[in-house]
Amino acid sequence: MIRDRVTPGRVIRTVLPAELADVVALHARARATYYPDGVPRDGTDWTEAWRGALTRPDGRVLCVAEAGRLIGLASFRTPEDAPAETVKLFQFHVDPGHWRLGAGSALHAACVEEWQADGRRTAVLDVHVGNARAQGFYRRQGWIPEPVGPGDHHLRMRFVVPGE
C-alpha cells in the first residue's frame, strides 16, 4: 500500500468513503467529455458502483487531491478469473479542468508503484473506442492496444508492470 504522495499543493492517497459524492460527480464530468450525444443511460447506478469500489477488500481507489478537492481517480483490482499477477484498471479519470497539468501522469505513476509493491506483472484496461484523448494518454504511459473486433465499443489495452 502506498503512503500518501505529496507534492506542492497536491496529494495522492486512498479515497475516503465520505468522499463518495465527490467521486461520482468527478466521474460524471470526465465521462461526459467522450460521449458526444451525452452519457448513455445503461441502467448503471454509479453511486452504488463507486460505493462498491470503495468498500471492496480486494480493490483500491486512489485519488489526486489538490487544495482538498478531488481532481483525479483510479480504481483497480484483480479481475475475476485472472491470474493473481494481473490487475485491471477499471476506472481512471481526471477532472477535465485539470487535463494536461500532470495530475493523470502522477496518478498513473502511483498506480504503477502500488502494482509493483503488490507483485503485479500485467495490467489491463478497457477504454471507449471513441475516447482518443484517453487512448493517447495510455499510450504515452506505455500501454499497448490489442486488436478490436467489429462492433466493439471498447479497446483493450495492456501494460507490462516494470520490475522494482
SS (H, E, C) 95-108: CHHHCCCCHHHHHH
pLDDT band at 38 (very low <50, low <70, confident <90, very high): low
Segment among 30-39, 75-84, 90-99, 102-111 with least mean pLDDT: 30-39
**Residue 26 banded pLDDT, cuts 50, 70, 90:** very high
Q: Beta strands 154-160 and 122-128: pairing type?
A: antiparallel
Using the predicted structure, report yes or no on whether residue 3 has a pLDDT greater than 60: no
Bigger pLDDT: 56 vs 130: 56
Which of 4-8, 25-29, 111-115, 123-127 has the lowest average pLDDT? 4-8
* Average confidence score pLDDT of the chain: 89
* pLDDT value at 117 more than 70: yes
Average pLDDT estimate for 88-113: 94
Cell of 140: 504515452
Overall domain count for the chain = 1
**Distant-in-sequence, close-in-space partners of 35: CB < 8 Å, separation ≥ 6:** 128, 130
pLDDT tens-digit readout, 127-148? 988 888 999 999 999 999 998 7
How far apart CA 150 and CA 16 sit, in angstroms, is 40
Chain centroid offset of residue 21 CA: 17
Per 3-state DSSP, the chain is made up of helix, strand and coil in percentages (nearest 5) of: 35, 30, 35
Pairwise CA distance, residues 15 & 38, whole Å: 27
Range of the domain at 33: 5-160
Q: Element (H or E) spanning 154, and its range?
A: strand 154-160
Alpha-helical runs (H) found in the chain: 20-32, 46-55, 103-117, 132-141
Rounded percentage of the chain residues whose pLDDT exceeds 90: 62
Distance of CA 91 to the CA centre of its chain: 4
65: its cell numbers: 487531491
CATH number at residue 81: 3.40.630.30
